């Protein structure tokens, strides 16, 4: 009897490596840039839903939004700074901490807002950390073309 070994030949292994290389070459370009899109979507969700809802609840209880000086901290702890909230009923954030934007920076809060004079401006400075076109805001930039 002949001792026959079973296994893969070098050609079979090379074919598998080539096929995997082709699949990776097709998939990687589709995934590139998705991380930044996910961070932008998370910041937009915080601004348009999470923090916005908490600020609206604060305003319902107290008749006005926290002042800029009180900041988003007023959503977690009753502020003693002027204007002192009339009927604070917080904390207004479920996780009991102020979220940072997906790039690790604080959200920018101004009340009354420069862009939303009746309410507040809330924004993230985006990936570059400075005021620029990549900022995510709760107001709509008007363009005049």
Q: Within a domain: residue 14?
A: no
Question: How would DSSP label each residue in the chain?
Answer: ---------HHHHHHHHHHHHHHHHHHHHHHTTHHHHHHHHHHHHIIIIIHHHHHHHHHHHHSSPPPTTTGGGGGTS---SSSPPSS-----STTSSPPPPTTSPPPEEESS-SSSTTS-EEEE-TTTTSSSTT-EESSPPP---
Q: Within a domain: residue 101?
A: yes
pLDDT for res 3: 62
Q: Within a domain: residue 23?
A: no
Q: Within a domain: residue 43?
A: yes
- Tens-of-pLDDT digits for all 145 residues of the chain? 566 667 778 788 888 888 888 888 777 766 666 778 888 999 999 999 999 999 999 999 999 999 999 999 999 999 988 889 989 998 999 888 899 999 999 999 999 999 988 899 999 999 888 888 889 999 976 544 4
Number of structural domains in the chain: 1
What the block records as the tokens of 72 is 């988003």
Spell out the residues 6+ positions from residue 75 whose beta carbon is closer than 8 angstroms to its own. Answer: 51, 54, 55, 58, 66, 90, 91, 92, 93, 98
pLDDT for res 33: 67
Q: Are 111 and 90 in contact (CB under 8 A)?
A: no
Assign residue 112 the CATH number of its domain.
Answer: 3.30.700.10
Q: Within a domain: residue 115?
A: yes
Q: Within a domain: residue 110?
A: yes
pLDDT for res 145: 46
Domain, as residue range, for 88: 36-137
């Amino acid at each position: 009897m002949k001792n026959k070994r079973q296994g893969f030949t070098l050609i079979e292994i090379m074919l598998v490596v080539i096929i995997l290389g082709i699949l990776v070459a097709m998939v990687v370009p589709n995934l590139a840039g998705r991380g930044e899109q996910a961070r932008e979507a998370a910041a937009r969700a915080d601004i348009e839903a999470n923090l916005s809802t908490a600020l609206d609840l604060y305003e319902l209880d107290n008749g006005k939004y926290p002042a800029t000086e009180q900041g988003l901290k007023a959503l977690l702890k009753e502020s003693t700074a002027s204007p002192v909230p009339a009927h604070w009923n917080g904390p207004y954030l479920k996780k009991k901490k102020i979220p940072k934007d997906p790039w690790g920076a604080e959200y920018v809060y101004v009340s009354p807002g420069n862009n939303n004079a009746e309410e507040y401006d809330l924004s993230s400075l985006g990936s570059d950390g400075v005021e620029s076109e990549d900022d995510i805001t709760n107001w709509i930039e008007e363009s005049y073309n």
